[in-house]
């Protein structure tokens, strides 16, 4: 194929930004107020109202939200926190920053979300919290985790980076934990470039807000106009994690599109599931009864014993056709820093690590893009 005949590159993910985001940012740039202020407060209120939670704090990333969650929860050296290894390193890294130790448990083989039975079996006298993660946008068994946390006196923290508009048994992901976090990173369900939200119980979010703005007792926006910006008190050794208004402007416009974006993701997922059923050795994602997935990822699982190619060979064949894919995730206990934390077998996690492949699935895709991925996979299976 000559370069002129090559199909265009189809990225694994691409944000969908419209005139609404540009108008909100322009408004902010013209307003004279660029840092955490009125737009961030509007964004916080939109998330709070939508999820029906007590409070929300807009921050610079989901990682920042997780770090603040763990600090506000009072985690410290010697504490154990139960969490899946099939996740991104952000939560385990932030846990280590507090001195607490992540205890990795396995995921369930249908949704690849943390298994409540495995979590319960890992509880010790040192356990302080459970951090769940809604893998690919499918909520974990929130009712089971809420009941477990309550019965054992533990904090429940939801890393809802993948699940902004997902529900399970009528409860919205992000609204069940004592605290929960969102990511608005560039490849997420909605994006503000970088950004995150800490959501949850009022007292904990209030503490996190203090910790996330240097430990200062008021925001610059609150002091602006009424008090001198130099008139403040520091009560705890805080960090600087606030979301600036330029970022919040993008996030706010994207948040309004969340239902429509999720509907489009679900459509793409349904098209894939219909078109890929029957390819030997290829398993499509399962949605549990009572669950609405946010479809951050469309994960396929390739069984090398039944499929004509391995997962990595399929990824190479798609790349040769200019179609990008990704893997979610290299399990955290395979990463150098965490090898010593791998203290129990995680068979389902290992299976996902070997077989999982994320196909392009995002609202900026056209129906022709989706057909292209399907056709390419059928070609690859035919050899
Ligand atoms: C499950 C999960 N949690 C947290 C993060 C970190 O998000 P951020 O980049 O907003 O800090 C990611 C990012 O990919 C993620 O996948």
pLDDT value at residue 144: 98
Q: Residues 326-336: pLDDT tens digits?
A: 999 999 999 99
CA–CA distance, 322 with 37 (Å, rounded to integer): 42
Q: Are 181 and 158 in contact (CB under 8 A)?
A: yes
Low-confidence ranges of the chain (pLDDT < 70): 1-4
Which stretches of the chain are assigned E, i.e. beta strand? Answer: 55-59, 80-84, 101-105, 127-133, 155-159, 167-168, 171-172, 179-183, 196-200, 282-283, 291-292, 298-302, 356-359
pLDDT value at residue 2: 59
Residue to mutate, 15, 88, 102, 181, ligand 1, most ligand atoms under 8 Å from C-beta = 88
Which residues fall within 8 angstroms of residue 31, CB to CB, at 6 or more apart? 38, 245
pLDDT value at residue 5: 72
Query: What length does the chain have?
Result: 383
Using a 6 Å CB cutoff, which residues line ligand 1? 61-63, 87-88, 90, 133, 159, 161-162, 183, 185, 196
Centre of ligand 1 from the C-alpha of residue 64, in Å: 10
Domains in the chain (CATH in brackets) are: 19-256 (3.40.640.10), 259-382 (3.90.1150.10)
Ligand 1 atom with minimal separation from the 66 CA = 4
Ligand 1 atom with minimal separation from the 194 CA = 10
pLDDT value at residue 275: 98
Centre of ligand 1 from the C-alpha of residue 89, in Å: 8
Centre of ligand 1 from the C-alpha of residue 302, in Å: 25
Strands 127-133 and 171-172: unpaired
Does residue 329 have a cis peptide bond before it, meaning omega lies within 30 degrees of 0?
A: yes
Centre of ligand 1 from the C-alpha of residue 188, in Å: 9
Query: Which protein residue's CA is at the shortest distance from atom 9 of ligand 1?
Result: 185
pLDDT value at residue 119: 98
Among all residues, which ones are annotated catalytic? Answer: 188
pLDDT value at residue 7: 86
Query: Which protein residue's CA is at the shortest distance from atom 13 of ligand 1?
Result: 88
pLDDT value at residue 218: 78
Is 366 buried (19+), middle (13-18) or exposed (0-12) by CB count in 10 A?
exposed
Ligand 1 atom with minimal separation from the 185 CA = 10
Q: Are 179 and 67 in contact (CB under 8 A)?
A: no
Closest CA to 33 of 223, 175, 315, 281: 223
CA–CA distance, 144 with 113 (Å, rounded to integer): 12
């Amino acid at each position: 194929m000559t370069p002129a005949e090559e199909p265009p590159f189809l990225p694994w993910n691409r944000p969908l930004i419209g005139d609404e985001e540009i108008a909100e940012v322009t408004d902010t740039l013209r307003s004279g107020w660029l840092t955490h202020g009125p737009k961030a407060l509007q964004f916080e209120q939109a998330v709070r109202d939508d999820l029906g939670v007590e409070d929300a704090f807009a921050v610079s990333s989901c990682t920042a939200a997780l770090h603040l969650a763990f600090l506000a929860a009072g985690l410290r050296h010697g504490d154990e926190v139960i969490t899946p290894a099939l996740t991104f390193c952000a939560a385990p890294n932030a846990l280590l920053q507090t001195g607490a130790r992540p205890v990795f448990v396995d995921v369930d083989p249908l949704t690849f979300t943390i298994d409540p039975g495995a979590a319960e079996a890992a509880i010790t006298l040192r356990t302080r919290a459970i951090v769940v993660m809604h893998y690919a946008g499918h909520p974990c068994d929130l009712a089971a985790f809420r009941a477990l946390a309550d019965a054992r006196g533990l904090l429940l923290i939801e890393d809802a980076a993948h699940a902004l508009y997902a529900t399970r048994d009528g409860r919205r992901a992000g609204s069940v934990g004592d605290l929960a976090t969102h990511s608005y990173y560039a490849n997420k369900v909605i994006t503000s470039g970088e950004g995150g939200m800490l959501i949850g119980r009022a007292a904990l979010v209030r503490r996190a807000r203090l910790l996330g703005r240097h430990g200062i007792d008021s925001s610059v926006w609150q002091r602006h106009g009424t008090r001198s910006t130099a008139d403040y008190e520091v009560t705890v050794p805080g960090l600087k994690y606030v979301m600036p208004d330029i970022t919040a402007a993008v996030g706010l416009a994207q948040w309004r599109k969340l239902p429509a974006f999720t509907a489009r993701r679900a459509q793409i997922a349904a098209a894939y599931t219909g078109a890929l059923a029957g390819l030997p050795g290829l398993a499509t994602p399962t949605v549990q009864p009572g669950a609405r997935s946010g479809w951050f990822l469309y994960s396929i699982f390739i069984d090398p014993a039944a499929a004509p190619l391995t997962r990595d060979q399929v990824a190479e064949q798609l790349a040769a056709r200019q179609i990008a894919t990704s893997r979610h995730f290299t399990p955290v206990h395979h990463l150098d820093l965490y090898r010593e934390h791998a203290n129990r077998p995680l068979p389902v996690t290992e299976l996902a690590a070997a077989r999982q492949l994320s196909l392009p699935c995002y609202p900026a895709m056209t129906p022709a893009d989706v057909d292209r991925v399907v056709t390419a996979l059928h070609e690859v299976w035919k050899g």
